[in-house]
Chains A and B, each alone.
Chain A
Amino acid sequence: MAEAHIAVRELTMAYGSRVIQRDLSFDINRGDIFVIMGGSGCGKSTLLKHLLGLVEPAAGDILYAGDSFVHANANARDVMRRGWGITYQSGGLFSAMTLAENVELPLQLYTDHSPADRAAIIAYKLALVGLDGYQDFYPSEISGGMRKRAALARAIALDPDILFFDEPSAGLDPISSRLLDDLIVQIKESTGATVVMVTHELPSIFGIATNSVYLDAASKTMIAYGNPRELREHSDQPVVRQFLAREASTAAQEKTA
């Protein structure tokens, strides 16, 4: 049953007078694993920042479950954000807090669990990402891959409906990045969350994505939307086919230059 969980309507993103992308309109359905892809510098992370409300759009609207986010006031935005879990590119863990304290913070802020229950839930969230027992470690004491997983544990602390990932597997070895992908799928399947991720890791894109949008840096707009496996075979845009098939060609270089 497809229903637009996040709807982007004629969104134009600009830093001052420099337009990054214009006229983006697409839907992210409930339960999708949605990938935002495109060449370097096309505005993928900027789009994510717009979805998260960290940057205001130059024009257009973003709707969550039918409600406008762009026109919502600060309080309404906070209410919407409570249903989100976000992992940032470099983790975004608070370096002055242990992993347990990092995961505990959202529980402390938004739930009334007793300390014993919180400890049990922290252990469960960390166990989901394979880090049970690392409660008292600081982010600087664990490896990069563990930090990404710990960030995921914090993101899912409140059982969010939408999970955002900025380059989840950047800097991970193929096995760790595959395990992280599997974890994202497992958590999504079990909790029914919608997943939105920025990535250009092809194995991830083909492995787990169910829907995607391709942002083109040259024409400054989206040029493809749909399941990436189908786009690879049937997109009418040669650049998209090349991107997904990992081919370099003069045509692509000219277009992205």
Chain B
Amino acid sequence: MSQAQPAEFELQVEDRDSAVLTLRGDWVHGREHPDYRELRDELAVISAPELVVDCSALGTWDSVLMAFLLQCYNQCRDENIEFQPRELPEGVQRLLQVATAVQPYKPPAQRRRPWYARLHLGELLRDFLERSRETLAFIGEVSIALWKLLLGRSNTRFVDFRTFCYQAGPNAIAIISLTSVLVGMILAYLGAVQLRQFGAEIYVADLVVIGTLREMGVLMTAVVMAGRTGAAYAAQLGTMQTNEEIDAIVTMGVSPVEFLVVPRILALVVMMPLLTLYANLLGVIGGGIVAGGMGITPLMYMNEGEQALSLVHLNVGLLKSVIFGALIAVAGCRAGMNSGRSSAAVGEAATEAVVIAIVYLIIADAAINIIFQQVGI
């Protein structure tokens, strides 16, 4: 490589009528080059109506020079100084022509709000109300679609329902097996430590059976399904939104709620009780394993557990599972249908689906427990 010349510029103001900007040296990436701000300040104070840009001493160049020249050009245009190039290399001339063919777009000025303005209480409340209104509207649409399904006038396809049942049911068995056995074991450990103080280890069976049937079996299943199926619904619908598939469905004259949302919700509502039954069974077995380790034989465990078992406990769990299934599916589908149209938005929708579903689950669970406590079930 030949001797590299340092890149530099010089602004000479000859008289009131003209100024000359001379560029010298090699303006390429990886070498020192002057900052445009130095020239901006000098250029701002000259009063000449034209600026001659002389490149006769210019060495090699690349985008670094072009970026510099373009800023100079734009400043000249803004300040009504005529930009007069002299001896620009042909490539520079042509690129500058292309780059300046279109005027920069100036977005309308927006008043920036300080950060504390966003903490405005009224606005937060309005956001919350708006969000609640949207959710209610969505639930309303789903209800109408379900009513139409009952009347047999809906565009919901049975094939879709079957596919989603398969995805939400049999495909989830492995993970549900793992979590419910472990939760049954944890429940037994927790109870055993306390009960041993009274010499009442045998009641571990009662604790596990009632705890699993009424509460833990269904809640753990719901949490797993929120992460698994709720997020999948949001991601599927969000991607369909991005691909304009939902627009296509709407313009075919089909309601996306009937076509996409209803089969998903129904599938989860049908599958959740079945998964919960399965989780209950495995949870009780998991508790039995721990009880066995503490000297309670399987026969004793089964005898004691059978006494604790009642249809009421089972039904409470199953009722919860239906409600939880609907909540998870509604949260997932709503997040997906309202998703923005970019890859990041689909990710946000999936996150939102899981977070909202879990919040719903816990609130609903607490509410149901309080009501049943009052009623005495």
Contact = CB atoms under 8 A, between A and B. Distances in A.
Interface string B318-352: 00000000000000000000001111100000000
A127 B31 CA distance: 24
Interface stretch (B79-87, B91-99, B116-124, B224-232): B91-99
B62 A96 contact: no
A186 B95 CA distance: 7
Interface string B56-94: 000000111011101100000000000000000011101
Interface string A115-136: 0110011011101101111101
B64 A130 contact: no
A121 B102 contact: no
Interface stretch (A23-31, A187-195, A218-226): A187-195
B104 A190 contact: no
Interface string B177-209: 000000000000000000000000000000000
Contact of B98 (A95, A128, A159): A128
A120 B71 contact: yes
A108 interface: no
- Chain B, interface size category, equals 20 to 34
B30 A112 contact: yes
A134 B105 contact: yes
Contacts of B101: 130
Contact of A140 (B29, B67, B341): B341
B342 A117 contact: no
Contacts, number: 81
A168 interface: no
Given A95-B343, A96-B342, A120-B67, A186 B62 contact: no
Contacts of B143: none
Between A112, A132, A159, A183, the greatest number of chain B beta carbons within 10 A of the residue's beta carbon is seen for A132
A138 interface: yes
A111 interface: yes
Nearest to A111: B29
Given A96-B343, A134-B105, A190-B91, A183 B98 contact: yes
Between A124, A136, A140, A191, the greatest number of chain B beta carbons within 10 A of the residue's beta carbon is seen for A124
A95 B344 CA distance: 7
Nearest to B105: A133
A131 B311 CA distance: 69
Secondary structure dominating the interface of B: helix
A113 interface: yes
B100 interface: yes
Nearest to A124: B67
Between A95, A131, A134, A191, the greatest number of chain B beta carbons within 10 A of the residue's beta carbon is seen for A95
B106 interface: yes
Contacts of A125: 63
A115 to B, nearest CB: 12
B295 interface: no
Contacts of A183: 98
A125 B337 CA distance: 36
Nearest to A94: B343
B42 interface: no
B35 A130 contact: no
Between B62, B91, B98, the greatest number of chain A beta carbons within 10 A of the residue's beta carbon is seen for B98
A191 B344 contact: no
A186 B94 contact: yes
Nearest to A119: B67
Interface of B: 29-30, 35-37, 62-64, 66-68, 70-71, 90-92, 94-95, 97-102, 104-107, 340-344
Ranked 5 nearest A-B pairs via Cβ: A133-B105, A96-B344, A95-B342, A130-B102, A120-B67
Given A120-B70, A131-B102, 10 more contacts: A111-B29, A113-B64, A121-B67, A124-B66, A127-B100, A133-B105, A133-B106, A134-B105, A140-B341, A159-B63
27 contacts: A111-B29, A113-B64, A117-B67, A120-B36, A120-B67, A120-B68, A120-B70, A121-B63, A121-B67, A123-B67, A127-B70, A127-B104, A128-B95, A128-B98, A130-B101, A131-B102, A131-B105, A132-B102, A139-B342, A159-B62, A159-B63, A183-B98, A186-B95, A186-B98, A187-B98, A190-B90, A191-B91
